[in-house]
């Protein structure tokens, strides 16, 4: 096999692989973001339906800050997993 034929076959397969991996990564990340937004909407709807005294106690206890930290960590974990799965983040697994 000559060098030209190797380069030609690599040039035709490489863009296909890159586009396929980008497409799958974007679809996966889009699904995670959609699920996360649905979760946030449900949490906000249920949280706002509580009584004012209970909301005040939860705020004193730091429940809202804890939820924000947990949900932010979930999004960060899913983003890193998705990107590292497709080779965009070298060794960050």
* Band of residue 10 on the pLDDT scale cut at 50, 70, 90: low
Structurally, the chain folds into a number of domains equal to 1
Residue linked to tokens 């909407």: 41
pLDDT of residue 60: 92
pTM: 0.52
The domain in which residue 35 lies consists of 26-85
Sign of the dihedral defined by the CA atoms of residues 91, 93, 79, 14, in that order: positive
DSSP string of 48-86, one letter each residue: HTS-HHHHHHHHHHTHHHHHHHHHHHHHHHHHHHHHHHT
pLDDT at 8 over 70: no
- Residue 15 placed within a domain: no
Tens digits of per-residue pLDDT, 18-75?
655 666 666 667 777 788 888 888 888 888 888 889 888 988 999 888 888 888 888 8
The more confident residue out of 4 and 77 is: 77
């Amino acid at each position: 096999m000559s060098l030209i034929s190797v380069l030609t076959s690599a040039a035709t397969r490489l863009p296909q692989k890159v586009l396929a991996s980008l497409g799958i990564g974007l679809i996966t990340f889009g699904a995670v973001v959609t699920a996360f937004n649905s979760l946030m909407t449900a949490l906000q709807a249920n949280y706002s339906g509580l009584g004012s005294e209970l909301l005040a106690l939860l705020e004193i206890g730091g429940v809202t800050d804890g939820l924000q930290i947990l949900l932010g960590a979930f999004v960060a974990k899913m983003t890193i997993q998705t990107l590292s799965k497709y080779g965009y983040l070298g060794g960050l697994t």
